């Protein structure tokens, strides 16, 4: 076996391992949320359910698209199948991004002016509102993915992956001599709307959350000598909310790192000159969808044995 073949086997094995970790994590998160009846699921849990479902769909479809179509399939690939698989891949990716944005906004709104609001709910606490915005996220993801059906990818010379299949690793791919305007417009519109803008929103929300936490810490520290009754009243809810918020911040940090690397890859690397484009894109985008369910699940106490065995 040659060195290149060894590399292919190692990359494929790593892909399978990362995908398995992501599948297990998202399935466990979904099952943990379903342990409570849907009629009693809170808004935050509903958003986590949507995120886990989007992650699961993306991991499954991206493996079908990247491994079966790009690596195994014959040169003659039905273009309609190619477009459908790419649509489902982008749909899962955008859905995961939008639910992450929704979670970050929800947690920031939940913490903002919490000392003044006390136990009064915010707009997204209403389960009807939570279902509505979740449906809007799914619809928006579908609308942003639909233009993939009118994009005509062109095979670029020098990319063996693109030449061996009708489904290129980068669907916006075109040659340097001839690149349709539609490919360029949709590529940069997609990057701005689906990557850059969500990244900015999540970054701003994380900064606001950190600011609130720091202000709360400065406010609580001098008041440690107050009567124990008020402290006792907050004891059960405070640590749980704090731990959940730390988990959200950790997941948002992972999101920022991954999608910053993704933007750098999209804007600086030419897929036609980079043979491992599909693999690199896979590991960057899938690392968030594979690791985030564990961060959310552990941080919100959804992965505990007690949670699964309470029935």
- Count how many domains the chain has: 1
Cβ-contact 151, 172 below 8 angstroms: yes
Distance, CA of 218 to CA of 235 (rounded, Å): 18
Distance, CA of 154 to CA of 152 (rounded, Å): 6
Q: Phi-psi category of 304—alpha, beta or left, where left has phi over 0 and alpha has psi -120 to 50?
A: beta
170: in domain:
yes
245: in domain:
no
4: in domain:
no
pLDDT tens for residues 271-300?
A: 767 777 777 888 888 889 999 999 998 888
What pTM did the predictor assign?
0.84
What DSSP designation does 67 have?
A: I
143: in domain:
yes
- CATH code (residue 143): 1.20.1070.10
302: containing domain:
22-219+258-309
pLDDT tens for residues 223-275?
A: 544 444 444 344 445 667 778 889 999 999 999 999 999 888 888 877 767 77
247: in domain:
no
pLDDT tens for residues 65-75?
A: 766 665 555 45
């Amino acid at each position: 076996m040659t060195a290149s073949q060894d590399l292919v086997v190692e990359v494929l094995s790593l892909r399978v391992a990362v995908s398995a970790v992501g599948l297990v994590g998202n399935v466990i998160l979904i099952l943990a949320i379903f342990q409570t009846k849907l009629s009693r699921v809170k808004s935050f849990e509903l958003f986590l359910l949507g995120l886990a479902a989007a992650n699961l769909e993306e991991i499954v479809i991206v493996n079908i698209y990247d491994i079966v179509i790009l690596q195994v399939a014959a040169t003659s690939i039905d273009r309609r199948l190619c477009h459908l698989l790419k649509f489902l891949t982008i749909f899962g990716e955008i859905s995961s991004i939008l639910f992450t944005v929704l979670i970050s906004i929800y947690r920031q709104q939940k913490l903002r002016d919490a000392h003044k609001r006390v136990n009064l709910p915010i707009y997204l606490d209403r389960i009807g509102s939570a279902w509505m915005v979740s449906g809007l996220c799914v619809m928006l993801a579908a609308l942003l993915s639909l233009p993939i059906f009118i994009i005509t990818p062109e095979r670029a010379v020098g990319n063996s992956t693109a030449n061996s299949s009708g489904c290129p690793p980068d669907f916006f791919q075109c040659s340097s001599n001839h690149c349709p305007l539609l490919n360029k417009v949709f590529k940069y519109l997609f990057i701005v709307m689906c990557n850059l803008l969500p990244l900015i929103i999540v970054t701003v929300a994380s900064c606001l959350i950190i600011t609130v936490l720091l202000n709360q810490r400065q406010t609580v520290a001098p008041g440690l000598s107050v009567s124990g009754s008020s402290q006792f009243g907050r004891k059960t809810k405070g640590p749980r909310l704090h731990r959940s918020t730390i988990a959200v911040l950790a997941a948002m940090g992972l999101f920022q790192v991954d999608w910053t690397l993704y933007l750098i890859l999209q804007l600086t690397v030419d897929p036609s000159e980079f043979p491992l484009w599909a693999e690199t894109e896979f590991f960057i985008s899938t690392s968030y969808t594979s690791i985030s369910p564990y961060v959310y699940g552990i941080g919100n106490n959804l992965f505990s044995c007690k949670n699964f065995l309470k029935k």
